[in-house]
């Protein structure tokens, strides 16, 4: 009998279809939230202004994340930037199919966090996902090992979040950052692409690009 992915579960695929359809109107929603004061706002204020914007990984990017987690088989997956939960669904589906592991994801906006939790429950994956509400630079403090990282929150915070997690990353840990084409991600990219900082890094050409970095 041919094995199937949890991504093919109607509850999961239905949730993803609904969220990707909603994301089709992201440009319209982002323009509505993008005021003159947006770029100078705090991360929390920005998150609240963009509360209706999905900002997802692409469908191909989600499948890439699923594949990486299946291959690496991490015990603890940490995601910076839940939004409405598209990437977390892919991560948790892989964890489910691995038979072990847990996803910890972080979100600044309370309404988005609540919506994501509802989606995870509807998809039957809520037992594998913990949603932390608040600033990831605070909610991700801890000492537990981290085995896989996805950085897809505000791009200017990706490097601070990575530096926060670094003491908990064993050699071989994969760190993935989405949207390499966005200028705000440049300090992060400069960091992981410099071998002196302890990473081997490669850009994977999917949609706006994903940077896949291996901790050395």
- Residues linked to residue 103 through DSSP beta bridges, in sequence order: 77, 129
pLDDT of residue 67: 98
Helix (H, G, I), strand (E, B) or coil at 202: strand
**Strand ranges for 165-209 from DSSP E:** 169-178, 199-204
Which run of H or of E encompasses 112?
helix 110-122
Residue ranges for the chain with pLDDT beneath 50: none
Buried b / exposed e over 166-195, threshold 16 CB at 10 Å, is: bebbeeebbbbbbbbebeebeebbebbeee
For domain 6-14+53-215, give the CATH number.
3.40.50.150
211/37 Cα distance (integer angstroms) = 29
Q: Nearest Cα to 149, choosing from 132, 134, 170, 135?
A: 170
Sheet holding 129-133, edge to edge: 129-133, 102-107, 76-80, 146-151, 169-178, 210-215, 199-204
The label of the residue with tokens 């609540």 reads 114
- Strand pairing of 169-178 and 210-215? antiparallel
pLDDT tens digit sequence for 19-29 = 999 888 876 66
pLDDT of residue 29: 63
């Amino acid at each position: 009998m041919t094995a199937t992915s949890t991504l093919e579960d109607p509850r999961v695929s239905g949730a993803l279809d609904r969220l990707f359809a909603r994301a089709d109107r992201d440009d319209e929603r982002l323009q509505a939230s993008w005021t003159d004061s947006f770029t100078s706002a705090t991360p929390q204020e920005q998150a609240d202004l963009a509360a209706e914007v999905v900002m997802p990984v692409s469908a191909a990017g989600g499948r890439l994340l699923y594949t990486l987690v299946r291959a690496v088989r991490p015990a603890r997956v940490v995601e910076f930037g839940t939004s409405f939960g598209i990437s977390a669904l892919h991560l948790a589906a892989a964890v489910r199919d691995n038979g072990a592991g847990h996803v910890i994801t972080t979100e600044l906006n309370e309404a988005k966090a609540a919506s994501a939790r509802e989606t995870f429950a509807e998809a039957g994956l809520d037992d594998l996902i913990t949603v932390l509400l608040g600033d990831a630079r605070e909610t991700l403090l801890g000492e537990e090992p981290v085995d896989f990282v996805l950085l897809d929150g505000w791009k200017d915070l990706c490097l601070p979040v990575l530096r926060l997690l670094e003491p908990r990353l064993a050699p071989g840990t994969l760190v993935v950052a989405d949207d390499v084409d966005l200028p705000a991600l440049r300090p992060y990219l400069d960091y992981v692409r410099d071998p002196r900082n302890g990473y081997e890094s490669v850009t994977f050409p999917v949609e706006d690009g994903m940077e896949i970095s291996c901790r050395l």
